[in-house]
Amino acid sequence: MYRIKQDKRSIQSIERLKSALWDLMHHKDFADISVVELVSEAQMGRATFYRNFDALEDILRLHCDETFEKLKKVMIQHYEQNDGDETAINRTVFIKPFLRFWDTHTIVIQRLIQAKRTGFIHDALSRTIESVVMLRAKADDELWGRYDYFIAARSGEALHVLLHWIKNEKDLPPDELADLVAAQWQASLNLKLQV
């Protein structure tokens, strides 16, 4: 767990710890990095680390959560700008602004993959989708009575598309990939198996 205070000194300490962790991760596996090594790299005491974090992975979780908070703002802005335009909403409901965002924030995902903490991505993505859906869904809408299944499906799809895209070194531009994925999802609804 992380504990973030908003005073200038705490913010600077956290940034130094994050920076030191990224530097160490260039040379070592995350699992091989110790708190002692991190605070030495950051040139600060262990007490500073433990004042803000319980474990090294909390730095990764904080970085992930901060980035997904930015994604949430981007998604809300996207929906607000396209409100009332059913063509734009139906075509780019989620995947296009999602991939555009990650095209410029890839390092976060790469660090979490390297540290073998993709579960953090899934958790943060599920929370992000839930908060965006809850802003858009109508309370009396029967379809959204059990939105938990939608969130599970959407976050799983989006996570695996994102991880595959990054694994493939972002071989397609985000808009092209978004159009491809949206077309594939639509085609899969009408898919008939040949027996």
Domain with 34, as residue range(s), is 8-55
Q: Does residue 195 form part of some domain?
A: no
Based on the domain organization, do 44 and 79 belong to the same domain?
no
Let me know whether 92 and 123 are in one domain: yes
At residue 122, the pLDDT reads 94
Structural contact between residues 56 and 1, judged by C-beta atoms closer than 8 angstroms: no
Estimate the crossing angle of helix 8-25 against helix 35-42, to 10 degrees: 110
Classify residue 5 by its DSSP letter. -
The reply to whether 118 falls in a domain is yes
Q: Is the pLDDT of residue 195 over 60?
A: yes
Count CB atoms within 10 A of the CB of residue 173: 12
Q: Is residue 193 helix, strand or coil?
A: coil
87 and 180 share a domain?
A: yes
In the beta sheet, which residues pair with residue 2? 53
Outline where the chain has alpha helix (H). 8-25, 35-42, 46-52, 57-81, 86-92, 95-103, 106-114, 118-136, 147-167, 174-189
Identify the pLDDT of residue 92. 52
Per-residue pLDDT band for 88 (boundaries 50, 70, 90) equals very low
Q: Which residue has the tokens 């767990």?
A: 1
Per-residue pLDDT tens for 50-64? 999 999 999 999 999
Report the mean per-residue pLDDT for the chain. Answer: 89
